[in-house]
Amino acid sequence: MKKTFLLASLLSIGAMATNPLIKQANDAGLKPLPKSEAEMLKLVDNSKNHITKAKVELGKKLYFDPRLSKSGLISCNTCHNLALGGVDGVEVAIGHKWTANPHHLNSPTVYNSVFNQKQFWDGRSPDLEDQAQGPIQATPEMAAPKALVVGRINSIPQYVSEFQATYGKDVKIDFKTIADTIAIFERILVTPSRYDAFLSGDENKLSKEEQEGLKLFIDKGCIACHTGVALGGGMQLFDANKKYKYRDVGDFKGDKNGMVKVPTLRNIEETAPYFHNGKIWSLKEAVQEMGTTQLSMKISDSDANKIVTFLKSLTGKKPNVQYPILPASTEKTAKPDVK
Amino acid sequence: MKKTFLLASLLSIGAMATNPLIKQANDAGLKPLPKSEAEMLKLVDNSKNHITKAKVELGKKLYFDPRLSKSGLISCNTCHNLALGGVDGVEVAIGHKWTANPHHLNSPTVYNSVFNQKQFWDGRSPDLEDQAQGPIQATPEMAAPKALVVGRINSIPQYVSEFQATYGKDVKIDFKTIADTIAIFERILVTPSRYDAFLSGDENKLSKEEQEGLKLFIDKGCIACHTGVALGGGMQLFDANKKYKYRDVGDFKGDKNGMVKVPTLRNIEETAPYFHNGKIWSLKEAVQEMGTTQLSMKISDSDANKIVTFLKSLTGKKPNVQYPILPASTEKTAKPDVK
């Protein structure tokens, strides 16, 4: 037995890990990100539109291109800023003409959003390809009609030739293709952390305090919603107990069945303010609020602090992103309209 | 003579170049960017605050950090977007609460701005270090009082330790140090192009048409203002002939002596719309407008087209910029204020 222990410890083999918390976490439904790039790619791929390097590069350009908005000033990255945990850091999303989201909704992170089972707070979109079409067109966000976006891209010869190099000479650069390409870039935005190494069997990767937090996280039932590879991403009944402190801020009440998307907890340290309406700025307060609202329990200061310590171990390594140089507009490109 | 010609051609030695246009251009005051990195660094350095790798990296983070604005939504890069030729591509700069610049002024490019003899359209600022302090505080731009910016940065431990690693343990992270660090990043944003290789003696780097355009550019007198390494960057009497087509758009009339900053022509293809008030979108029209306004001559369509062909050779290679991952805010960080 001692021999096996040493071997497992030396080789970091998950299956042999003796730390019971690793087994408990895996049994509870928590899943690490794959270690190998090939496995990771398989996990995040789109079977109808496979990931390629060319699509990722082109999708990155589109993701950062503010000319996809009516004003020419707002890109996907404005609200889902890759420098800031994939969010904008403000309570409510601010879009075209400085319009706040009319439902008082907070921008969710783009990092690891590929693992969401549904997209948007009310889960109305099945995947990133579909989701990417929304904010571009939404009047309080990028406010660009499909024809404007398609016209702008097609007016820029370098974009046209990049689409052709990516999808073939006969590609029709329509709105769907543009959104699909953005989604391919978003699919690769995953962020492995020490937590994944721990879950895969490397028991030294989380400190004693972080492990205590993880155990509390499981034991208290947080994993009922914050589960799987994303620690979230599914749908859950919104505020069934009608206890949420800021329930009356904004008119969001979930989908038609009262269900709301459970946010991923990866990089949660970086994505304040919290909840659909961005009303809570402190991670500890957010943990305690979830205790009251969803678990009908008071989480003590001491336990909340430990859970927060664990949650911070979910801050992951971001993919390297070279800031793109975008192809210049031409005289045929529809002018920005800030009105 | 033939031997010398061959040698010059093979070795690309500027001094020996036989193409008379190269000599004419150099004699006319046009200057190439240095070829070697060491010479380039020397040219763009700040003798009072030398460029170091650490300052560039930290300055880049600050340049991209929207938390330097009151709202938390606007960074230096919002109006001086490195993906889009260093500009925002809109007629008039749009800032805090979607406010248009009250003087109807267009955002100038940050690329090669280190070569401007003065900063801002009215040249009121001597250098980038001084300039960087302006837009952060200006109400219609980033709208952040000094204390807010200083407080936010000092509330983020990772920023504090990066300033300490950059400037020493005793660094006082005040507003000036923050702006100075941003300026150091901006100093390295220079963009060598084929034009520089040509001016340095490699006569094959510009096509016959581009060379014709360059000759016209010199012969017609454009070089009176668009000279030196930046092809601009000095001060010139604004619209002395009172012929500018859009003279009445905005209240800008230059500095107290009626002088206006001459924009660099490097990357001009990427920085439409043109002029201080962004009223002209076509580069050809801009060339012809300058003929009328500043040179009191009509530039024919044919000549303007050739000059434009030359101007496009000024589109340079941008420095590789890895998009930064910014340190997370803490609970002590002053909240964004979008009001």
- Model confidence at B241, pLDDT cuts 50, 70, 90, reads confident
What letter would DSSP give residue A328? Answer: P
Digit-coded pLDDT (tens) for A226-235: 999 999 999 9
Closest chain B C-alpha to A44 CA, distance in angstroms = 22
> What is this model's ipTM?
0.94
A329 with B66: Cβ contact below 8 A: no
Digit-coded pLDDT (tens) for A59-72: 999 999 999 999 99
A281 with B331: Cβ contact below 8 A: yes
Q: Is residue A9 scored above 90 in pLDDT?
A: no
A321 with B323: Cβ contact below 8 A: yes
Domains of chain B: 19-35+191-312 (1.10.760.10), 39-187 (1.10.760.10)
**Rounded distance between C-alpha atoms, residue B181 and residue B187, angstroms:** 10
Closest CA to A294 of A275, A268, A277: A275
- Cβ atoms of B312 and B193 closer than 8 Å: no
Tell me the average pLDDT across B61-73.
98
Closest chain A C-alpha to B87 CA, distance in angstroms = 11
Q: How many residues does chain B have?
A: 339
Question: Per-residue b/e over B90-108, b at no fewer than 16 CB within 10 Å?
Answer: bbbbbbbeebebebbbbbb
Measure CB to CB from residue A89 to each of B272, B320, B329 and give the nearest one: B329
Digit-coded pLDDT (tens) for A110-169: 999 999 999 999 999 999 999 999 999 999 999 999 999 999 999 999 999 999 999 999
pLDDT at B99: 98
- Model confidence at B17, pLDDT cuts 50, 70, 90, reads low
Digit-coded pLDDT (tens) for B163-204: 999 999 999 999 999 999 999 999 999 999 999 999 999 999
**Rounded distance between C-alpha atoms, residue A230 and residue A233, angstroms:** 6
Q: Up-side HSE of residue A48: CA atoms within 13 Å toward CB?
A: 8
Closest CA to B158 of B50, B24, B84, B61: B61
Residue of B nearest to A62 (CA): B83
Q: Cα dist. A119→A31, A65, A260, A263, B286 in Å?
A: 20, 22, 10, 10, 46
Residue of B nearest to A280 (CA): B331
Q: Is residue A6 scored above 70 in pLDDT?
A: no
pLDDT at A17: 54
**Rounded distance between C-alpha atoms, residue A31 and residue A330, angstroms:** 48
Tell me the average pLDDT across B5-29.
70
**Rounded distance between C-alpha atoms, residue A107 and residue B338, angstroms:** 15
Tell me the average pLDDT across B324-339.
97
Of B7-21, B130-144, B211-225, which range is least confident?
B7-21
- Cβ atoms of A95 and A140 closer than 8 Å: yes
pLDDT at B4: 47
Q: Is residue B18 scored above 90 in pLDDT?
A: no
Task: For an interface test with B, give the residue of A96, A101, A323 to mutate (most B CBs within 10 A).
Answer: A323
Q: Is residue A15 scored above 90 in pLDDT?
A: no
Of A51-65, A237-251, A325-339, B87-101, which range is least confident?
A237-251
**Rounded distance between C-alpha atoms, residue A79 and residue A83, angstroms:** 11
Task: For an interface test with B, give the residue of A82, A322, A325, A337 to mutate (most B CBs within 10 A).
Answer: A325
pLDDT at A5: 47
Q: Is residue B234 scored above 80 in pLDDT?
A: yes
Closest chain B C-alpha to A292 CA, distance in angstroms = 22
**Rounded distance between C-alpha atoms, residue B117 and residue B33, angstroms:** 16
pLDDT at A238: 85
Residue of B nearest to A89 (CA): B72
Tell me the average pLDDT across B36-61.
96
Two structure tokens written together for B231: 């092809």
Percent of chain A past pLDDT 70, that is, above it, reads 95
Closest chain A C-alpha to B10 CA, distance in angstroms = 33
**Rounded distance between C-alpha atoms, residue A62 and residue A93, angstroms:** 20
B89 with A67: Cβ contact below 8 A: yes
pLDDT at B1: 40
A84 with B326: Cβ contact below 8 A: yes
**Rounded distance between C-alpha atoms, residue B1 and residue B18, angstroms:** 10
More confident residue, B172 or A17: B172
Chain B residues within 8 Å of chain A (Cβ atoms): 64-67, 71-73, 78, 81-85, 88-91, 94, 97-98, 100, 269-270, 272, 281-282, 315, 318, 320-326, 328-329, 331, 335-336, 338
> Which residues in chain A have Cβ-Cβ distances shorter than 8 Å to B104?
none
For the whole model, what pTM was predicted? 0.94
Q: What is the mean pLDDT of chain A?
A: 94
Catalytic residue among B91, B141, B203, B270: B141
B85 with A328: Cβ contact below 8 A: yes
Measure CB to CB from residue A270 to each of B85, B100, B328 and give the nearest one: B328
Q: Is residue A7 scored above 80 in pLDDT?
A: no
More confident residue, B7 or B154: B154
Measure CB to CB from residue B90 to each of A73, A83, A94 and give the nearest one: A73
Angle between helices A301-312 and A208-219 (to 10 degrees): 110
Q: What is the mean pLDDT of chain B?
A: 94
Active site residues per annotation of A: 141
